[in-house]
Amino acid sequence: MKTLVVGGAGYIGSVVVRVLLEEGHEVVVLDDCSTGHADSVPDGVELVVDDISAAGRVLAGAGFDAVLHFAAKSLVGESVAHPSMYWRTNVVGSRALLDAITEHGVPRLVFSSTAATYGEPDTVPITEDVAPRPTNTYGATKLAVDMMITNECTATDLAAVSLRYFNVAGAAYGVGERHTTETHLIPIALDAVLGKRDKLTVYGDDWPTPDGTPIRDYVHVADLAKAHVLALDAAHPGEHLICNLGNGNGFSVKEVIATIEEVTGLTLPHAIGPRRLGDPTQLVASADRARQRLGWQPQYDLHRMVSDAWEFHQSRPDH
């Protein structure tokens, strides 16, 4: 297929680009590089440096078979402090992209959604049938885009798949996390191991979990990327399929710390801080639908995620 990857210079998008190329697809990347990195786009792949509003120009007359949409602002705290920025970028931008897809007759869409749409559900593991109750602006904007896509599929026969990620980690093809503002546990912890931060702050050790720290589901970025390629074939006209992507296993913050110390052979300096407002106690995915509908099966465990992230961190002294 000829694919346009919107946000293809980012962490996840650039790994997906490489998997698409391996599978024989033709790829064009559209990214404004505000948070992505041009050097993450493989040599030989056309990179259009522009924002999402340029999608119509890129799609015009070019015979694209699919769009994969990763472009979004995604910092939870920032979304709460500056909601208008998130509604404008994530929702208004996605609306413009959907209009361009319809105008130029692109038949398939794969959307980068998030577990943040669920908020803190009453039951774990979380299935796609759980009523979404986002607790922050980021999750609310992603849910709004999911709802727009559902409406679009009904109205235009678009074939769409939304993939709701849980905690993405690891590195692949020499691509790892290098966000300007880092909020993810594993890269922050590895920075602390390398002495680039004084310590890791653990937000509370009095949660109602076996060791008192919150529990999250982690999925390797390479596994995640494979799901996007499978989703292209699983998309059916007029249907909006929503699938969770996670390992189905939860790990506490303390368990992640122990894995990092095992992988690196170093002590991770950390301290206990107060709980963060709005942090869920436990988020673990049920990925049964992705297994059934996409034929997707995650391959990598937490140890491999940390090992790959550690190798990437060591390879980038400037990071």
Q: Could you give the CA distance from residue 279 to residue 287 in angstroms, rounded to a whole number?
A: 22
Q: Could you give the CA distance from residue 241 to residue 289 in angstroms, rounded to a whole number?
A: 9
| Active site residue ranges | 138
pTM to 2 decimals?
A: 0.94
Q: Could you give the CA distance from residue 88 to residue 85 in angstroms, rounded to a whole number?
A: 5
Kindly give the confidence (pLDDT) of every residue in the chain, 319 residues in length, as a single tens digit, with 9 standing for 90 and above. Answer: 999 999 999 999 999 999 999 999 999 999 999 988 999 999 999 999 999 999 999 999 889 999 999 999 988 888 889 999 999 999 999 999 999 999 999 999 999 999 999 988 888 899 999 999 998 999 999 999 999 999 999 999 999 999 999 999 999 999 988 866 777 899 999 999 988 889 999 999 999 999 999 999 999 999 999 999 999 999 999 999 999 999 998 999 999 999 999 999 999 999 999 987 767 788 899 999 999 999 999 999 999 999 999 999 888 755 4
Q: Are 16 and 68 in contact (CB under 8 A)?
A: yes
